[in-house]
Amino acid sequence: MFDSHERGTRIGLFFAMPLLGPSLGPMIGGALVQAFNWRATFWFLAILGGVSLISFTFLKETFRKERSAAYQGAVKRARDQAEQKADKLAAASKVACKDGSGEVSKHELDLEGGLKEFDPKKIKLSLLDVNPIPASWIVLKQRTNVVILATSGEFFLSPCWRLI
C-alpha cells in the first residue's frame, strides 16, 4: 500500500497507536472526570468517534490499481477481447489495403479504430477478476501456515478451511 520510502513512518504510526491508547486513555479520562463528571468521558468518546467517522470520508483512496494482480488480469482480459474483436473485423472486411493485397492489417485497424474501444482507465473489476481461491490455495500449500491458522482459531473462522 505504501512505497518503500514511506513504510518506516507508516509502520511506526501503526504500532504506536495501540500503545498510545492504553497509556494516554486513563490520563485523559481522569482529567475529564476531575474537571467535569463521569459522564464527560462518554461525551468525549462520542464526539471523538463522530469526528473520526466524518474525517474518514475525506481521506483519499490508497488502492493503486496498477499494482493489483486482479486489475492486471482485467486489463489483460479486456485487451484480449479487443484484439479478438479486431481480428473479427479484419476477417470480415476484405477491403483492399494500400499495398493491394486485399486484406486489412491489424495495425491499420488500430488506426481506423478497431482497438480504440480498449481503454485501461475504463476497466472495472468483476467477480471473475477477484478470485480468492488461488491465493488461498497458495497460503494453504505451506504446512506451517495451516498450523498457524489452526492454532490461532482463524482456520475454522475463515472460508479457507473448505479447500482441504
- Express each pLDDT in 124-155 by its tens digit: 777 777 777 877 888 888 888 888 877 776 55
Show the cell assigned to 102. Answer: 486485399
Q: Which of 97, 90, 66, 95 is nearest to 82 (CA)?
A: 90
Mean pLDDT of 97-101: 52
Is pLDDT of 68 > 80?
Answer: no
| Grid cell 495451516 in the structure block, residue | 146
Question: Is the CB of residue 21 less than 8 Å from the CB of residue 48?
Answer: no
Query: Where is average pLDDT lowest: 24-28, 90-94, 145-149?
Result: 90-94
Q: How many residues does the chain have?
A: 164
Cβ atoms within 10 Å, residue 68: 15
Q: Is the pTM of this model over 0.75?
A: no
